[in-house]
Amino acid sequence: MKQKHLRFHGIPQDLEDVAMVACRAWTELGKDDRELGLLLKTLARDAEPFLTHEVLAELAAAMMDKQRALAEEMAIYDPKPWKQWGKDLEATSIEQMRNAVKLPVSVRGALMPDAHLGYGLPIGGVLATRNAVIPYAVGVDIACRMKMTVLDLPPSALVTKEKKLMDAIHRETRFGMGARFDGGEDPMPKRDHAVMDADWSVSPVTKRFKDKAWAQLGTSGSGNHFVEFGTLNLSEPDLGLEPGTYLALLSHSGSRGTGAQVASHYSRLAMEAHPELPKPLRHLAWLDLDCEAGQEYWAAMSLMGEYAAANHACIHAAIAKRLGVEVLLDIENHHNYAWKENHDGEEVIVHRKGATPAGAGTIGIIPGSMADPGFVVRGRGNPESLDSASHGAGRRMSRTAATKKFKHLTPEKELAKRGVKLLSAGLDELPMCYKDIEEVMAAQQDLVQIVARFDPKLVKMAPAGEKPED
């Protein structure tokens, strides 16, 4: 067990030295690391039973001391109600949710079945606040979103026109942190879209990075961002389509480098505005919507929402044009954003960080992995979830752990076994890195109704070695 892996088992950073002593003792006894990982996760949830453990007793005592100290520090904060969907979620993500609802501005929260550790609010966390916005509860990739278009091509084109479909993805978008269209050595000029005529002076950050945003318009980034072709199966008439199997294009990306700069700038301002927050709440610092910084962030976030939507629009329009086909259906949704909504009789700010809007009748997209199905869903409007659902399957292991565990595998070969043609991706995005999407969907039947199933067939992500933006 390496020190850098401990936090994914719920061990706080300041207890890592004590934990490593225990890990070395465990190794000396010739015991299995996988069993140790399970014990550490259990200890992180409840340390007391380990006080007499032959190897973990000292760590358990230190954990209990830390938890008592934190409890005393957090005692002044009253927790608000929240509800969890799904089982076997990371202890760290549950603790993050418990902390989030203790904020003075919090009203209510919910944790989705794909939840895992994030900055401040967990990925899969939903939080309603009163007249305040939390940059880290929106996320670093502001307005990360899904978009699907159903194209006027038969599903057989996935075989008969495979090369043409692959070429369309290769040519009409770019992947990676520095991906851009800007002419010069790149034969493709910058994309045109009305979003670049919007007011980019709403924030000093958006004003400064407008040119970069324009160059990155129509690009797909890194991390878990993708562009893929697949089949959409609709069993009943819905969405304006007859039952049947269709060829669809699905993309996942957000506001690129400019969105990340907005998140970084206003997260820093929020933390400077609330130095009194204890360490567990520091990344949940908020901006009052009545203050200048809060209004600036809200305007910048809204612009990044428009920009992310334009980003997807450019990708889909360019691919459809290259293929010379019509679009039969167009659906999309954000899942890293904050909305002004009415809940419990008052207007609140609902942060959905890695969560899909699922108000009554609202259509959304919940993807699986690059070899597992995704779903078009209709929200049920469950008030306990603040009208939200999961945004995907959710990671079951860190990127570092995945790269180490699967280093002997070749992604293209692994995907071919599942009937998927992989154009590019890193080991940290293999399907095995993610939770079972069928289990996630089963855990939220009271949140969404499945309308159609999407199965990926031709997939492109950032190549191995790219730093993730998600």
Q: Tens of pLDDT along 41-96?
A: 899 888 999 999 999 999 999 999 987 877 676 666 789 999 999 988 988 999 99
Residues 176 and 463 sit within 8 Å (Cβ to Cβ): yes
Whether 221 and 345 share a structural domain: yes
Mean pLDDT: which of 8-17, 171-180, 295-304 is highest?
295-304
Query: Average of pLDDT values for 313-322?
Result: 97
Query: Average of pLDDT values for 316-339?
Result: 97
Question: What is the reported pLDDT for 66?
Answer: 83
Question: What is the reported pLDDT for 6?
Answer: 87
Query: Average of pLDDT values for 4-17?
Result: 82
Question: What is the reported pLDDT for 187?
Answer: 65
d(C-alpha 60, C-alpha 11), whole Å: 10
In a domain, 111, yes or no: no
Question: What is the reported pLDDT for 468?
Answer: 66
> 250: closest CA among 359, 180, 177, 169?
169
Q: pLDDT tier at 470 (50, 70, 90 boundaries)?
A: low
In a domain, 100, yes or no: no
Last residue of a domain, one of 74, 91, 106: 74
Q: Which amino acid is at 60?
A: A
Whether 182 and 321 share a structural domain: yes
Of 70 and 298, the one with more pLDDT? 298
Whether 362 and 446 share a structural domain: yes
Considering only 195-209, 290-304, 419-433, which range has the smallest mean pLDDT? 419-433
Question: What is the reported pLDDT for 80?
Answer: 95
Whether 372 and 272 share a structural domain: yes
Whether 260 and 183 share a structural domain: yes
Residues 218 and 172 sit within 8 Å (Cβ to Cβ): yes
Whether 177 and 279 share a structural domain: yes
Query: Average of pLDDT values for 18-39?
Result: 91
Whether 227 and 332 share a structural domain: yes
Per DSSP (E only), the strands in 254-393 are 287-288, 327-334, 336-343, 346-353, 355-357, 363-366, 374-379, 388-390
Q: pLDDT tier at 407 (50, 70, 90 boundaries)?
A: confident
In a domain, 114, yes or no: no
In a domain, 66, yes or no: yes
pLDDT digits (tens, 9 = 90+) for 113-148: 999 999 899 999 999 999 999 999 999 999 999 999
DSSP per-residue codes, 372-427: S-EEEEEE---GGGTSEEESSS-BSS-HHHHHHHTTT--HHHHHHTTT-EEEE--G
Question: What is the reported pLDDT for 275?
Answer: 82
Considering only 30-39, 63-72, 397-406, which range has the smallest mean pLDDT? 63-72
Which uninterrupted H or E stretch holds 118? Answer: none
In a domain, 107, yes or no: no
Q: pLDDT tier at 469 (50, 70, 90 boundaries)?
A: low
In a domain, 98, yes or no: no
Last residue of a domain, one of 26, 57, 74: 74
CA dihedral 298, 304, 305, 307 (to 10 degrees): 150
Catalytic residue numbers read: 391
Question: What is the reported pLDDT for 186?
Answer: 58
d(C-alpha 99, C-alpha 76), whole Å: 12
Whether 195 and 336 share a structural domain: yes
Count of structural domains within the chain = 2
Q: What is the largest CA-CA distance in the chain?
A: 69
In a domain, 85, yes or no: no
pLDDT of 34 above 80: yes
pLDDT of 4 above 80: no
What angle do the packed helices 16-28 and 57-74 form, to 10 degrees?
Answer: 160
Question: What is the reported pLDDT for 177?
Answer: 82
d(C-alpha 40, C-alpha 44), whole Å: 6
Question: Within 13 Å, how many C-alpha atoms sit on residue 338's CB side?
Answer: 31
Percentage of the chain lying above the pLDDT 90 cut:
79
Residues 71 and 99 sit within 8 Å (Cβ to Cβ): no
Whether 54 and 152 share a structural domain: no
Question: What is the reported pLDDT for 372?
Answer: 96
Considering only 67-81, 254-268, 447-461, which range has the smallest mean pLDDT? 67-81
Question: What is the reported pLDDT for 238?
Answer: 95
> 470: closest CA among 180, 227, 216, 140?
140
List C-alpha distances in Å: 222 to 104, 189, 301, 305, 460.
35, 21, 20, 18, 10
Strand partners, 250: 148, 228
pTM of the model: 0.84
Whether 145 and 12 share a structural domain: no
Strand partners, 452: 376
Whether 62 and 196 share a structural domain: no
Strands 106-116, 123-129: pairing is antiparallel
CATH code: domain of residue 309:
3.90.1860.10
Whether 229 and 353 share a structural domain: yes
Q: Look up the domain containing 66 and give its range.
A: 3-74
Last residue of a domain, one of 58, 74, 90: 74
In a domain, 334, yes or no: yes
d(C-alpha 280, C-alpha 128), whole Å: 18
